[in-house]
Amino acid sequence: MKITIPFLDLEKMYNSGQQFTWNKIDNNKYSIIHKNNYLEISHIDKDEFEVSCSEDAFKSIWYSYFDLDTDYESLWIKGLVRGNEYLHNAVRYGWGIRILRQDPWEVIIMFLISQNNNMKRIRKSVDMLREKYGNITIYNDDNAHTHVYKTFPNTYLLETGYNQDQYKDCGLGYRDNYIKEIAEGWNDIIALLNEHKNDYKELIETLKLFKGTGNKVANCIALYGFHHLNAAPIDTHMKRIINEYFCGINPLDNFKGYEGIIQQWLFDYETNKNKSK
């Protein structure tokens, strides 16, 4: 099915570091696994995309996933004119990066893995967790093609996997204990998070109760898993950006309510600008 999606650059989304569940099929085509759902998407022209799902599935699942109710274009234009040259260049470069509305469980696991780690290894670990502990799922798209894929592992599979002492094959290092604790207590944890998810500060404090989530990871979870667009994870790259290009003064403070999006564009520019286009 063809569909119009504004402000979306697939390649940038793939490399943006907000998810590790996309896979590259070819230069223009990506597969996405989100909860139990599978999507192939490719760019056709301008805002035109080809997606492998039906119109109903797009409406009920992917419309929200891509956050199509938020107007990224106007924020992007604001960002172009409200800051120094570095910010201008970063915002311009960030065209097409939206903040996905991902599943909290998946985000928590991915960003527990992310600490003191690099993007390549994070993606590899997430892939291995899916291959080992994901459910095999078969999906027939609207072109009558069959796709077989593994979902992101659910809590039960991660619990039993840990008990069988198989995590070590996924390159998680010392972070496996954090994941074990979250997986084992998940029912209580998600209930607690749902109680506090609407209040940013309460949510951050609740997340920080769990081992392995400090300020940075908590903000990643708030931004990517609960869509608090004001949540701005400050990692090693963002620290360097702030010190090198903004005299130590956090430029995100000029974008109240949307700090997380500007952060995403700055992060992407700093980590990807030197890659060949």
Partner DNA sequence: GCCCAGGTGGGAG
Partner DNA sequence: CTCCCACATGGG
* Residue 13 touching DNA (CB under 7 A): no
Comparing C-alpha atoms, which of 20, 62, 69, 59 is closest to residue 41?
62
* Residue 267 touching DNA (CB under 7 A): yes
94 and 76 in contact (C-beta within 8 Å)? yes
**Between 68 and 207, whose beta carbon lies closer to DNA?**
207
One of 13, 217, 222, 262 touching DNA (CB under 7 A)? 217
* Residue 212 touching DNA (CB under 7 A): yes
Residues 78-97 that bind DNA (CB under 7 A): none
**Between 51 and 99, whose beta carbon lies closer to DNA?**
99
CB of 115 to DNA, least distance (A): 3
The residue behind tokens 């564009």 is: 265
Residues 128-187 that bind DNA (CB under 7 A): 168, 171-174
**In 10 A of CB 82, how many CB atoms?**
14
**Between 16 and 21, whose beta carbon lies closer to DNA?**
16
Mark the segment that binds DNA (CB under 7 A) among 67-75, 136-144, 149-157, 262-270: 262-270
* Residue 216 touching DNA (CB under 7 A): yes
Strand 22-26 relative to strand 2-4: parallel, antiparallel, unpaired?
unpaired
One of 33, 233, 251, 252 touching DNA (CB under 7 A)? 233
183 and 162 in contact (C-beta within 8 Å)? yes
Alpha helices in the chain (DSSP H): 10-15, 55-57, 63-65, 72-81, 85-93, 104-113, 119-133, 155-163, 176-184, 186-196, 200-207, 215-226, 236-245, 259-272
**Between 68 and 223, whose beta carbon lies closer to DNA?**
223
